[in-house]
Chains A and B, each alone.
Chain A
Amino acid sequence: MEGRFSFAKLKYVFPPFQNGDVDPAVKALEARQDEILRKLYELKAAVEGLAKTVTTPDADLDVTVSSSLSSQSSSCAIFKGTTNLDALLGEDLGALRDIVINANPAQPPLTLLVLHGLLCQRYRVLSTVHVHSSVSSVPPQLLSCLGPKHADSYARHMFQLGFTLIWKDVPKLEMKFSVCNMCPIEGEANVARFLFKLLAPYPSDPALATLVDSWVDTGFYQLADGSTKERAAVLRALNSALGRGPWLSGPEFSLADIACYCCLLQNGSASSIAANVQGWMKSCENLGHFGPAKLLLK
C-alpha cells in the first residue's frame, strides 16, 4: 500500500507515557478541564431555559434544556405516564421489533417524523429509510429525514424498536408490524395514534381523550386536506381553544398539538394567523421536537 505518514501525527494516537504509565498530573489536569466544561454547559443551558420561561408555558419540560444535561434522558418527562412495549407490541420474541411505514414521497408524513424523534429519546430505535422499486427516485432530504445512521446499526438486535420508513407509490400511508397478528394500519392519523401510544397513554379521562382524538382528526382531515373555507374555520376554532389554555387539549401537550402543528405547517402558514395560534406555534417550536418536520419543508 502506497502512502506517506508523518511520525508527528502518530505521536497523538498514544497517550504520553512515563515509566510505562499515564502521567497522573496530566490525568488530573484533563479531569479538571472536563469538570469545568461540564459546569459551563450546565450554566449555559440553565440561562437559556430561564430565557424561554418568559415565552413558553411548561418551560420545565423544554427538551433543549433537559437534553443538554444528560445525553440520553430516558426520563424524558415531556409526556407523563408509563408505557409497556410488550403490552402494545406483543411478546418480545428476542429479535428486533420492526415497525414498517410505507409513505408516498409526494406527501411526507411530518407528524410521524416528529413522533419518530420523540421515540428515539425514549427508546433505542434503529431507523432506516428505503426507496421502493415503485418509485424511481426521491429528493435527498427524504432519504436523510430520520437523521444520521446510528453507529450500532450493524447489530439490529441491540435495539428495542425498529422504525423502517419506505418511500413507495402508495395511495394511502400504511403501517405494518406483525403480519401474522396485526392487520396493517392505514392513514397518517391512525398510525400517529399507534406510535403515540408507545410514548404515553392517552389521558385517562375519556372526555379529554376524545378531545385529543377530535383535534387529531380535525388536523388531518380538515386542516391538511380540507378546502380553504374549512381551513379558515379550523384556524378560528384553534384560536378560540388556545384562548382557554396553553395547549389544545387543556393543560398538557398532547398528540393533538403535534398533529395540528404539523398539518398547519404542511399547507404553508396562512398569511394571517390569529394571536393565540401564533403564540401556540411559538411554544411548540420552543419545545424543540419539530426540527425534523421543518427541515423537510425547506
Chain B
Amino acid sequence: MSGVEDLTILCFLGITKESIVDVEAMVRKVEQKIESCSQQDVELHIERIFVISQAEPRLPLQLEDAVRPDGEGEEEGRATVNQDTRLDNRVIDLRTTTSQAIFRLQSGVCQLFRDTLTKKGFVEIQTPKIISAASEGGANVFTVSYFKSSAYLAQSPQLYKQMCICADFDKVFCVGPVFRAEDSNTHRHLTEFVGLDIEMAFNYHYHEVIDSITDTMVQIFKGLRDNFQTEIQTVNKQFPSEPFKFLEPTLRLEYTEAVAMLHEAGVEMGDEDDLSTPNEKLLGRLVKEKYDTDFYVLDKYPLAVRPFYTMPDPSNPKYSNSYDMFMRGEEILSGAQRVHDAQLLSERAQHHQIDLEKIKSYIDSFRFGAPPHGGGGIGLERVCMLYLGLHNVRQTSMFPRDPKRLTP
C-alpha cells in the first residue's frame, strides 16, 4: 500500500496496519515516481480487497519509528524505538527495511563463505555441540544435564576440525552455533552466536592458511560490495557509516610493527604484552590512517598470550605462529598453526598447567600421523556488524542471546 491517504481509507474500512490482504486490482503505470514505495513505477487501483490475517489494532511498536535514524525528528516529538523494545517484539522489528536489509546481507555473507571455500576445495563438516569436556579450558562453558550425568555445550568446533584434518580431509569448514557462558554485557558479545570456522593442512608454511582465510574474507567483501549495495545503502539510511575499505591481497603486519606503531603514538606496553581492547582500537585507527584499510592481519603474536595448542615460532621462542584479524579495529578472528605433535602438545599443556587427563582424547588424535595444519574462526554476527559499521551485535543477530536475554 502506498501513502498516508490510502492507509486512512483502509483504516476507515476497518483494516488495521500490518494486516495481510489479498487484492484484485488494475495495475497502472504512473508518470511520476512514487517515492514512498519500494515499487515506484506502478499503482494499484483496487477493485476488491480481502483480509487474510487481521493485525491487532495496537502494535507494540510503529515501523516508521523503528526505522527512524537516531536524533531525527526529535524536535517534533517523533520517537525512535529503543533496543530492548525491538528485541522484545522482534517479529515486528524484523519487518523494517533496515532489518530486512541487514539479514539479507547476512545471508549473503554465509553464501559467499560457503561458495568461496567450496571453490577452494574445502569440505563442509558438521561437528557435535554436546561434548564431554570443555575444549579450551576455562570456565566459560554451559553445562547441560545429560541423562544421569552432565555434558557441556561446545565453545568452538576446534577439537573436531583438527580431528578431521587428522582424518585426511585436508581442508574443512563448518558453520554452526557456538556457546560461550561469558558474563560479558558488551556491544560485541553474545552467549550464542554463529561460528564460521576454517581448518586446513598446509604444505610448506602456515602463511598458506593465512592466505586462504584472508582471500576468503576478501571475496566476501567484494561479493557484498558488488551485489548488496542496495542493502548497504538501506542500512546506511538509518545508521550512517563510512563504507568498508580493504586491500587485496590483505595487509599483513607483524606484532613487532604493531608495538612500534603504538609506541610511536605514546602507548606504553611491553614487547610480549597482549593488546588491550583500547590499544586494538587505536592500532586500527593508525593502520587505517596509514594504509586506508578496515581489514588487516596481525601475525606472530607473543607465545605467552596464546592458548597451549598454538605452535611456537621455530626461529624465535618468544613468538608464535599465530595471528589475529581485525575489522574496523575490532578483533574478528583469532587463529594459529596448531601443534600437531602429541609430545610437544603434552609439554605445552603442562607448561600451561592443564590437567593432561582432561584432554587425553584431544592429544590422542595426533598420535597416528597428523599433518601440519592451522585455521581460525569468525563470528557471523560480529562480521556483519563491523562490515556495516553498526555498533551493537544484537542488531545483526536475529534472536540474540546474552546473559540477560533468553527470549524470543
Task: Give, as a whole number of angstroms, the nearest-CB distance from A33 to chain B.
Answer: 31
Q: Check B260 against A132 for contact (C-beta < 8 Å).
A: no
**B254 / chain A contacts, CB cutoff of 8 Å:** 95-96, 156-157
Contact pick for B244, options A133, A154, A166, CB 8 Å? A133
Q: Check B290 against A130 for contact (C-beta < 8 Å).
A: no
Q: Check B291 against A100 for contact (C-beta < 8 Å).
A: yes
Contact pick for B292, options A128, A131, A166, CB 8 Å? A166
Chain A CB within 8 A of B22 CB? no
**A93 / chain B contacts, CB cutoff of 8 Å:** 260, 263-264
Task: Give, as a whole number of angstroms, the nearest-CB distance from A181 to chain B.
Answer: 7
Contact pick for B256, options A95, A100, A128, A131, CB 8 Å? A95
Chain B CB within 8 A of A178 CB? yes
**0/1 string, B198-223, CB within 8 A of A gives 1:** 00000001010000000000000110
**A156 / chain B contacts, CB cutoff of 8 Å:** 252-254, 257
**A176 / chain B contacts, CB cutoff of 8 Å:** 289-291
- Asked if A134 meets B251 with Cβ closer than 8 Å, knowing A95-B256, A98-B257, A102-B292, the reply is no
**0/1 string, A118-130, CB within 8 A of B gives 1:** 0000000000101
Smallest Cβ-Cβ distance to B255: which chain A residue: A95
Chain A CB within 8 A of B305 CB? no
Contact pick for A131, options B207, B225, B248, B264, CB 8 Å? B248
**0/1 string, B260-281, CB within 8 A of A gives 1:** 1101110000000000000000
**B205 / chain A contacts, CB cutoff of 8 Å:** 154
Q: Check B244 against A130 for contact (C-beta < 8 Å).
A: no
Q: Check B257 against A132 for contact (C-beta < 8 Å).
A: no
**B291 / chain A contacts, CB cutoff of 8 Å:** 100, 164, 166, 176
Chain B CB within 8 A of A94 CB? yes
Chain B CB within 8 A of A231 CB? no
Q: How extensive is the interface on chain A, given as a class?
A: 20 to 34
**B257 / chain A contacts, CB cutoff of 8 Å:** 95-96, 98, 156-157
Task: Give, as a whole number of angstroms, the nearest-CB distance from A4 to chain B.
Answer: 19
**B245 / chain A contacts, CB cutoff of 8 Å:** 132-134
| Distance of A95 Cα from B254 Cα, bound (Å) | 8
**0/1 string, A88-104, CB within 8 A of B gives 1:** 00000111101010100
Chain B CB within 8 A of A180 CB? yes
Tell me the chain A residues, 158-183 only, with Cβ under 8 Å from chain B. Answer: 164, 166, 168, 176, 178-181
Smallest Cβ-Cβ distance to B168: which chain A residue: A1
| Distance of A133 Cα from B261 Cα, bound (Å) | 24
Chain A CB within 8 A of B308 CB? no
Chain A CB within 8 A of B309 CB? no
Chain A CB within 8 A of B286 CB? yes
**0/1 string, B232-255, CB within 8 A of A gives 1:** 000000000000111111011110
| Distance of A178 Cα from B287 Cα, bound (Å) | 10
Q: Check A178 against B247 for contact (C-beta < 8 Å).
A: no
**A133 / chain B contacts, CB cutoff of 8 Å:** 221-222, 225, 244-248
**0/1 string, B286-320, CB within 8 A of A gives 1:** 10011111000000000000000000000100000
Task: Give, as a whole number of angstroms, the nearest-CB distance from B293 to chain A.
Answer: 8
- Asked if A130 meets B249 with Cβ closer than 8 Å, knowing A96-B254, A178-B264, the reply is yes
Which residue, of B249, B252, B257, B293, has the highest number of chain A Cβ atoms within 10 A? Answer: B257
Interface residues of A (CB under 8 A from B): 93-96, 98, 100, 102, 128, 130-134, 154-157, 164, 166, 168, 176, 178-181
17 additional contacts (CB under 8 A) given A179-B261, A179-B286: A95-B257, A95-B259, A96-B254, A128-B249, A130-B251, A131-B247, A132-B246, A132-B293, A133-B244, A133-B246, A155-B315, A156-B254, A156-B257, A157-B254, A176-B289, A179-B290, A180-B265
11 contacts between A and B (CB under 8 A): A93-B260, A128-B249, A130-B248, A130-B249, A132-B247, A133-B246, A133-B248, A154-B207, A156-B252, A176-B291, A178-B264
